[in-house]
Amino acid sequence: MDTGIKEYILAIITQDMELVNGGGCPVFLAANQEEQEKIAIYISRILGGIVHDLENGVYFICKH
């Protein structure tokens, strides 16, 4: 019987903190699009997650 958590959000990366409310995971603020993509890629590699773009200025990294 497997009782572990399998799917969860590891981090959120945004350029506008107004777009992110509440949470329970780390939120990273990027200065521009290039930095946002770089942060997202680095964190996803380190944590073994997948980057998802919500196409509203917010990326999140989750574990599947």
Stretch 38-45: mean pLDDT, rounded?
96
Tokens of 10: 């590891």
Backbone angles phi, psi at 27, to 5 degrees: -120, 130
Q: How far is CA 10 from CA 13, 18, 39, in A?
A: 10, 19, 13
- pTM comes to 0.84
Residue pair 20/4 in contact by the 8 Å Cβ criterion? no
What's the confidence (pLDDT) of residue 5? 60
pLDDT at 3 over 70: no
pLDDT at 28 over 70: yes
